[in-house]
Amino acid sequence: MSELPTGFWAGWIVVLTLVSLGVLSWLVYSIYFSNSEVDKIHEEVVWDNNLREGANPAPMWWFWLILLSLVCSLIYLMLFPGLGSYKGILNWTSGRQVVRDEQVYSAEFGGSRNAIAEMKVEEIHDYPKAMVSAQRVFDRNCAVCHGYEAQGQAALFPDLTDKDWQWGGSVEQIEQSIRDGRTGNMAPWGDILGAQGVDDVTAYVMSLSGNADTGHPGKLQYDQLCVACHGTTGEGNPILGAPDLTDNTWLYGGSLKAVKTTIADGRNGVMPAFGERLDATQLKLLVALLTVENPG
Ligand code: HEC
Ligand code: HEC
């Protein structure tokens, strides 16, 4: 019971609580039942010529109401922890309450949760109730960045519905993205390439999504600096999270300006790790959600 105060402070809380209750009772009692002479010779006070200060007694039902709440407070303090280190007759603790709630929860849902964790994602796809839960887990944990429809946001958080996977689209790879997180590492190339170099490489990279302009001066620099990650034809590398540059799908926007900014200034997208926050069932549900053929 380390969370309950002990020693001096426990005593202090007991004294403070009981004295406050006592003073409150006395105050209420004295208002209703005092025979003070002062009241009897009460002179009528008049403000601003015509505002009279009344001397009506407070209604009696207030008294019963206050008495009732005082009695309830005392009963509460007897049953539950509240008075210093006194644990209360019921010996209730929030820790035990949590344990009890957990037991009720796992008795009710434990079976189906374990079953889901064991299922193949294809089986989960055909299990509508599980897919509803999956959407709920997604809304709660992922929608802030990826959007409620998982369509991505602001050219900063990737679209998860386009089947274009930067880090790989197998069940294992998607699960790893969610469990362990991902950090894209695209260095800034502005200083190395210079302004003209950035323009050239940008033009070349943009041509990769259509008819690759293999005669372009930017290809030379691309072949020196970029192939290691993005591949000779720009096909990308899911192990490094280097995106495919040939598919006309852009994480950070496909305008000339956006691509130029990416190349000159670099990008470091961070997908946080959820392995600590979500359990195996929730991870499995999310993978199932993201691998549905026709989302939505
Ligand atoms: C060390 C590996 C690496 C090298 C070298 C590299 N990139 Fe990248 N590139 C990445 C990664 C990883 C990302 C994704 C960044 C992220 O997720 O935030 C990326 C993203 C990009 C994007 C954004 C694509 C999109 O869909 O928005 C472009 C464009 C790009 N790189 C072009 C280049 C060019 C041009 C070069 C050479 C000058 C280059 N990269 C060199 C790893 C690399
Ligand atoms: C704080 C914002 C944020 C949250 C919250 C977030 N993500 Fe991400 N996620 C990102 C970013 C940014 C990337 C791109 C990382 C990169 O550039 O490499 C990403 C990438 C991913 C990828 C890899 C995509 C690919 O193309 O390979 C998957 C899968 C993913 N997120 C799923 C999820 C799921 C499921 C959740 C909820 C549990 C989630 N994300 C929550 C920001 C977030």
Distance CA 97, CA 36 (A): 50
Closest ligand relative to 153 C-alpha: 2
Distance CA 136, CA 142 (A): 10
Amino acid at 208: L
Mean pLDDT per 10-residue interval, the chain, length 296 residues: 71 92 91 68 73 77 92 93 86 87 77 78 83 89 88 84 87 92 90 88 88 80 90 89 89 88 91 89 90 66
Tokens of 22: 């006592």
106 touches 117 (CB < 8 A): no
Residue with tokens 């190339």: 189
How far does residue 182's CA lie from ligand 1's centre (Å)?
14
How far does residue 289's CA lie from ligand 2's centre (Å)?
14
How far does residue 71's CA lie from ligand 2's centre (Å)?
55
258 CB contacts (<8 Å, ≥6 apart)?
155, 250, 252
Q: What is the pLDDT of residue 1?
A: 47
Distance CA 38, CA 160 (A): 79
CA distances from 111 to 84, 134, 165, 282 (A): 42, 17, 33, 14
